[in-house]
Structure 1
Amino acid sequence: MTLEKTVADLATRVETLEAEAEIRRIQARYMFLCDTPCPEFGVRDDEHRIELIMDLYTHDAVWEGVGEYYDNQFGRAEGADAIRAHFRNFWGQKRDPELLLNAHYLTSEQIRVAGDEATGLWIHMQPWLFSDGTSLLRSSRLNNAFRKEDHGWRITRTRTENVFVAPLNAGWASDYPSASVLMKP
């Protein structure tokens, strides 16, 4: 093997590792911004939160819930305007009972990079606590796609499929915050 070939091979491997790391950060940031209360310091309101999320997506992205449980619950949003409307529908409505807390936990990661495109598979879990004392645990599989653009990697597809929804006993969680101060300077 020539030195040039070795260097080229190493450069490709480094680019792949850097892509995986950036995709991992993008997916984690998306989940972080979807947490309630939102832990991102300085987020003024849900519209600001939505714009921070939209910065992670390409203009032609797709967000969809699939499978027998999520097809009718989430549907499909194509393009930035439709995805923005999807999030406005979720956060823009006053809900009764009010969502007090949810946190996203990612596991079973599989990222595959092929040039300027990539896919990522995860399983995620999230507890939900509501103002009426009810709570549940949700788990979903994520099959997402990404593309490298001039300003870095972005999400081109969020696809989520229900694994399970489990009601939790009242009082299973205590001592949770009404607002996050984690990122406060």
Structure 2
Amino acid sequence: MTEPATLNALVKRIETLEAEADIRRIQARYMFLCDTPCPEYGVENDQQRIELILDLYSDDAVWEGVGEYYNNQFGRVVGKDALRAHFNRFWPEKQDPKLILNAHWLTSEQIHVHGEEADGQWIHFQPWLFDDGKSLIRGSRLNNAFRKIDGEWKITRTRTENVAIVDLPDFFASSYPSTSVLLKAPGTNHTNEHIQT
């Protein structure tokens, strides 16, 4: 292999690795912002949370539930206005019962980069706890798509398929925070800027 060809091959490999890292961060940030209580410092309400989530998506993005269970529960929405309405159904202004704990675990990652586009698959699990004691775990497979727009990776499709929903005993968790202070530096009024994105 000639020197220019070797250099081009190395550049391509680095670009692929950087794309995978960016996509991994975007997907993890989406899950982070969906946690309850929301761990993002300074987010005071769900409308702020929703706008931060929408910043991760392209203008023409699709969010869809597929398969025999999620197709009927979530359906398919296209575009940021429809996504905003979709997320507002997750976090209605007055939730009854109120969701007090939800955390996302991502596993079984596969990311495939194809130039300016990519796809990724994960399995994620999330425990849910409501203030009336109702508790469950949801498990889903994700098959998401991404595109580089103006030099920045964005989500173009979130596709989720149910793996299992498992009922848990009422109030299964013995402790959980009412708010998150994860990104607030102890004893200060400012954030750890090297952590916050």
TM-score, length basis structure 2: 0.92
**Displacement of 1:92 after TM fit?**
2.2
Q: Number of aligned pairs?
A: 185
Report the counterpart of residue 79 of structure 1 in structure 2: 79
Q: For residue 31 of structure 1, what is the amino acid of its counterpart? A: M
Question: Is 1:31 the equivalent of 2:31?
Answer: yes
Aligned equivalents of 1:80, 1:51: Cα separation in 2: 10
- Which string of whole-angstrom CA distances, capped at 9 and with x for unpartnered residues, describes residues 96-140 of structure 1? 211100000000000000000000000000000111112001100
- Aligned residue runs from structure 1 range 86-165, under 5 A: 86-165=86-165
TM-score, length basis structure 1: 0.98
Q: Which runs of 5+ in 1 are unaligned?
A: none
- Aligned residue runs from structure 1 range 38-49, under 5 A: 38-49=38-49
* Larger mean Cα displacement after TM superposition, 42-51 or 109-118: 42-51
Q: Which runs of 5+ in 2 are unaligned?
A: 185-190, 192-197
Aligned equivalents of 2:181, 2:49: Cα separation in 1: 16
Aligned equivalents of 2:146, 2:160: Cα separation in 1: 15
**Displacement of 1:151 after TM fit?**
4.2
Report the counterpart of residue 53 of structure 1 in structure 2: 53
* Larger mean Cα displacement after TM superposition, 134-143 or 83-92: 83-92
Aligned equivalents of 1:13, 1:94: Cα separation in 2: 48
Aligned equivalents of 1:86, 1:148: Cα separation in 2: 24
Report the counterpart of residue 63 of structure 2 in structure 1: 63
* Larger mean Cα displacement after TM superposition, 163-172 or 78-87: 163-172
Aligned equivalents of 1:136, 1:40: Cα separation in 2: 24
* Larger mean Cα displacement after TM superposition, 20-29 or 81-90: 81-90
Output the aligned Cα RMSD.
0.9
Q: For residue 30 of structure 1, what is the amino acid of its counterpart? A: Y
* Identity score, percent: 69
Contact 2:58–2:154 (CA under 8 A) maintained in structure 1: yes
Q: For residue 106 of structure 1, what is the amino acid of its counterpart? A: L
Contact 2:119–2:144 (CA under 8 A) maintained in structure 1: yes
- Give 4+ residue runs of structure 1 displaced > 4 Å after superposition: none
Q: For residue 119 of structure 2, what is the amino acid of its counterpart? A: T
**Secondary structure, counterpart of 2:71 in structure 1:** helix
